[in-house]
Amino acid sequence: MRPEELEAGSSLRRAREAKGTNLFRQLDAPRIVATGETLAKRIHERFPQSNLAAVATDLVAVSRDASQLAGQLAQPMVGWRALSITLTVALLVLVIVVALNLRVSLHVGDAIQLVQGIEALINDIVFAGIAIWFAFSIETRRKRGKALRFISQLRSLAHVIDMHQLDKDPDRYDPNYKSTASSPKPDMTPAQLMRYLDYCSEMLAILGKLAALCAQRSSDPPTLAAVNELEDLSSGLSRKVWQKIMILDRMLAQRPA
């Protein structure tokens, strides 16, 4: 191993030790944003006047929003937690007061009153438990709402990217292809089209990572399900893009030199 490779490995190990965690076990928001920025620059340099360049710029803004949201979701909502604890204490005090009143009524000789008192205590405990669960779930539900709203934006952006590649048909470069009056006119070379489609695939991949970034510290089932759905969507759209790339690559390979 060369000295520079040893030094790079040593630096990486020191960075891991300084950070106190494995760098490859969680998504790094700044690096995802940097990847999006680099991709946007590449698209602007190759297709400066295209709508895809504008979408790439928006993707960078969305990446920054995702980084900020991920930081917010990782932080506890102190106000809601304090409210939940206060409500829990108040409900527990109420249950204790009811229980003490029931203890006084145990000296009553009427069995019906005793049964009614026990029933009332059980109802109070059940309703108090439901209220406590509701109070402690407020933070989770508010974070879930923020995450789901953002994932919905990512889903819309994925469909926008798919629309940009929808009319990029590699068959138009076939010598036997016959266009109609409504057929899209080719405005790229085959090599440019291949690069354009590859950019679409990369943007879809970044969207999946942004969704995972927002939920990497979450254990909320609806949020995780929404992330999985978006990743499936982006993967499915990316497969469509790569089918076109493979068709185009095969056509170019069959062309005479």
Q: Kindly tell me if the per-residue pLDDT of 191 is higher than 90.
A: no
Closest CA to 229 of 166, 174, 151: 151
Q: What is the pLDDT of residues 143-188, one digit of tens each?
A: 889 999 999 999 999 999 999 998 888 888 777 777 777 777 777 8
Of 247, 128, 245, the residue nearest 193 (C-alpha): 245
Burial 208-247 (b: 16+ CB within 10 A, else e): bbbbbbbbbebebeebeebbeebbebbeebbeebeebbee
pLDDT at 109: 53
pTM of the model: 0.74
Q: Looking at the predicted structure, is the pLDDT value of residue 255 above 60?
A: yes
Query: Please, are residues 54 and 20 in contact by the beta-carbon 8 Å criterion?
Result: no
CA–CA distance from 247 to each of 62, 161, 180, 196, 199 (Å)? Answer: 32, 20, 21, 14, 17
First to last CA, the chain: 41
Span 6-33, pLDDT tens digits:
454 555 455 445 555 556 778 888 999 9
Q: What percent of the chain has pLDDT over 70?
A: 79
- Note the pLDDT of residue 195: 93
Question: How far lies 77's CA from each of 65, 73, 82, 83, in Å?
Answer: 19, 9, 9, 10
Q: Identify which has the larger pLDDT, 52 or 88.
A: 52
Residue 230: what pLDDT?
94
Question: Tokens standing for 12?
Answer: 């990486």
Residue 132 neighbours by CB under 8 Å, 6+ apart: 84, 87, 88, 91
Tokens of 40: 């946007």
The amino acid sitting at 119 is E
Q: Which of 40-44, 58-62, 102-106, 194-198 has the lowest mean pLDDT?
A: 102-106
